[in-house]
Amino acid sequence: MKEAARAAPANLDGVSSASMPPLVRYLDQDGELLEDQPMSDEMALEGYRVMLRGRRFDERCVSLQRQGRMVTLAPGIGQEAATVGAAMALDSDTDWFVPQYRELAGQLWHGYPLKLAFLWHVGHPIAFQVPGDLKMLPFQAAIAGQLPQAVGLAWGLRLKRDSGVVLAVFGDGGTSQGDFHEAANLAGVMKAPVIFLCQNNGWAISTTIEQQTASETLAQKAIAYGFPGIQCDGNDLFAVYATVREAVARARDGKGPTLVEAVTYRLGLHTTADDPSRYEPREMHELWVDRDPLRRMQRHLISREIVDRAALDRIEDEVKEELRVAWDEAQKEPAPDPSFYFAQVHRDTSPRLRRDLERFDRNRRG
Ligand SMILES: Cc1ncc(C[n+]2csc(CCOP(=O)(O)OP(=O)(O)O)c2C)c(N)n1
């Protein structure tokens, strides 16, 4: 990560490639403030709690997957400040969260229930549908496929004179997809109220950022499409929050999209089907363990005397208990009839699917 830092977000208007603002940072690695805290102490503590909830959820799910009780999943370990900080800048009553698959912590802040998150990871159909009152699209596995949809959603809100804005989350690998460029182009032309949040976590599976792009930053790609791009320290809750907050204000004000590049790091696995020890340099991993966003927030909360160690331990226990309750509740959900899955693929069952279903029924009968 570049060490150049400025604390306050740049004025996002009038940014050109010659005047790319430097990386936004509020907290140094030791959790010391470089600038005024951009939110209340209560909000900072709540942000920390949700980051922790996301971290412990992911750890629990990796463990359950290893026990054969969950399907393949993509943990967001190390990236909690990026997604929670961005979600905190939204108004969950009016604004939409459009995820990829690695931003559960931010989705929890936006109101996604833990129980549904567990059910999603066991493939339960009840989790396939986002609850009606939640302004969120479903998870997206096709890289950058959610971005044109997010722009359509944002453009639609604008046409309806709705005050809502859209946060669309994706990874560094997504910036190499046509969908990203088409979405960014259209958003720029239509001044769609969308914030593109690129979580630059250093990797697209085993592809490094240097192999991904020759651009100096991902944020600068926005300039080609006529809107601002800004890099922030993605492991600094306050930097992400302040940067996205300004982007949200621009979008709500009719000034159009912003690309926010949150520079972070994937501390966990790409997915549970991946083994990063085969390609990730050990020293690189250790460097980023030192920059863990949770640890940085803990240091900050303690040094500002917002909490003491005992309070942090209590929060840890409370989060563990919430997860236990949500997982118990999820397990109480009646298992779906497996034939459900066959019925959801096409309007008319294809001959091949029918053969699969017949074979499945024969096996089921034994
Ligand atoms: C359109 C498409 N192409 C390829 C893949 C296979 N694939 C799955 S994850 C991934 C890497 C994505 O990296 P990035 O966008 O940086 O997001 P991250 O997984 O690091 O969060 C790829 C290439 C896919 N899911 N969708």
Q: What is the DSSP string of 193-250?
A: -EEEEEEE-SEETTEEHHHH--SS-STTHHHHTTS-EEEEETT-HHHHHHHHHHHHHH
CA angle 352, 358, 362 (to 5 degrees): 145
Could you tell me if the CB of 77 is within 6 A of ligand 1?
A: no
Residue 339 CA to residue 364 CA, distance in Å, equals 11
Asked if pLDDT for residue 357 goes beyond 70, the answer is yes
Could you tell me if the CB of 141 is within 6 A of ligand 1?
A: yes
Q: Please tell me the predicted confidence (pLDDT) of residue 1.
A: 38
Could you tell me if the CB of 143 is within 6 A of ligand 1?
A: yes
Active-site residue list: 266, 270, 279
How far is the centre of ligand 1, averaged over its atoms, from the C-alpha of 208 (Å)?
Answer: 12
Could you tell me if the CB of 203 is within 6 A of ligand 1?
A: yes
CB-side neighbour CA atoms (13 Å) of 197: 37
Q: Kindly report the protein residue whose alpha carbon is nearest to atom 23 of ligand 1.
A: 204
Residue 27: DSSP 8-state: B
Could you tell me if the CB of 142 is within 6 A of ligand 1?
A: yes
Residue 191 CA to residue 79 CA, distance in Å, equals 29
What pLDDT digit, counting tens, does each position of 175-187 carry?
999 999 999 999 9
Q: Kindly report the protein residue whose alpha carbon is nearest to atom 25 of ligand 1.
A: 142
**Domain-by-domain residue ranges, the chain?**
17-335, 337-366
Could you tell me if the CB of 171 is within 6 A of ligand 1?
A: yes
Q: Please tell me the predicted confidence (pLDDT) of residue 3.
A: 42
Q: Please tell me the predicted confidence (pLDDT) of residue 51.
A: 98
Could you tell me if the CB of 273 is within 6 A of ligand 1?
A: no
Residues whose CB falls within 8 Å of the CB of residue 129, separated by 6 or more in sequence, listed in order = 138
Ligand 1 atom nearest the C-alpha of 204 is 13
Residue 320 CA to residue 145 CA, distance in Å, equals 34
> Mean pLDDT of all residues in the chain?
93
79 in Cβ contact with 199 (< 8 Å):
yes
Q: Which of 47-61, 85-99, 258-272, 333-347 has the lowest mean pLDDT?
A: 333-347
Verdict on whether the full-model pTM lies above 0.85 = yes
105 in Cβ contact with 86 (< 8 Å):
no
Residue 286 phi/psi, 5-degree rounding, is -65, -40
Could you tell me if the CB of 52 is within 6 A of ligand 1?
A: no
Is residue 98 within a helix (H) or strand (E), and if so which, with residue range? strand 96-98
First to last CA, the chain: 57
Look at residue 262 and give its three-state secondary structure: strand
Asked if pLDDT for residue 289 goes beyond 70, the answer is yes
What pLDDT digit, counting tens, does each position of 51-70 carry?
999 999 999 999 999 999 99
Ligand 1 atom nearest the C-alpha of 271 is 19
What number of residues does the chain have? 366
Q: Please tell me the predicted confidence (pLDDT) of residue 342.
A: 82
Amino acid at 89: A
Substitution site in 83, 104, 200, 205 for ligand 1 pocket (most atoms within 8 Å of beta carbon): 205
199 in Cβ contact with 235 (< 8 Å):
no
What pLDDT digit, counting tens, does each position of 142-163 carry?
999 999 999 999 999 999 999 9
Asked if pLDDT for residue 17 goes beyond 80, the answer is no
**pLDDT tier at 22, thresholds 50, 70, 90:** confident
Substitution site in 73, 143, 288 for ligand 1 pocket (most atoms within 8 Å of beta carbon): 143
Q: Kindly report the protein residue whose alpha carbon is nearest to atom 21 of ligand 1.
A: 171
207-208 and 203-204 strand pairing: antiparallel
Amino acid at 23: L
Asked if pLDDT for residue 8 goes beyond 60, the answer is no
Asked if pLDDT for residue 84 goes beyond 70, the answer is yes
Q: Kindly report the protein residue whose alpha carbon is nearest to atom 19 of ligand 1.
A: 204
Could you tell me if the CB of 201 is within 6 A of ligand 1?
A: yes
**pLDDT tier at 20, thresholds 50, 70, 90:** low
> What number is the average pLDDT over the span 309-333?
98
Residue 359 in tokens: 């074979």
Residue 169 CA to residue 140 CA, distance in Å, equals 10
Q: Kindly report the protein residue whose alpha carbon is nearest to atom 4 of ligand 1.
A: 143
How far is the centre of ligand 1, averaged over its atoms, from the C-alpha of 263 (Å)?
Answer: 17
Q: Please tell me the predicted confidence (pLDDT) of residue 37.
A: 97
How far is the centre of ligand 1, averaged over its atoms, from the C-alpha of 80 (Å)?
Answer: 19
For the domain made up of 17-335, the CATH class stated in words is alpha beta
Q: What is the CA radius of gyration of the chain?
A: 21
Asked if pLDDT for residue 16 goes beyond 70, the answer is no
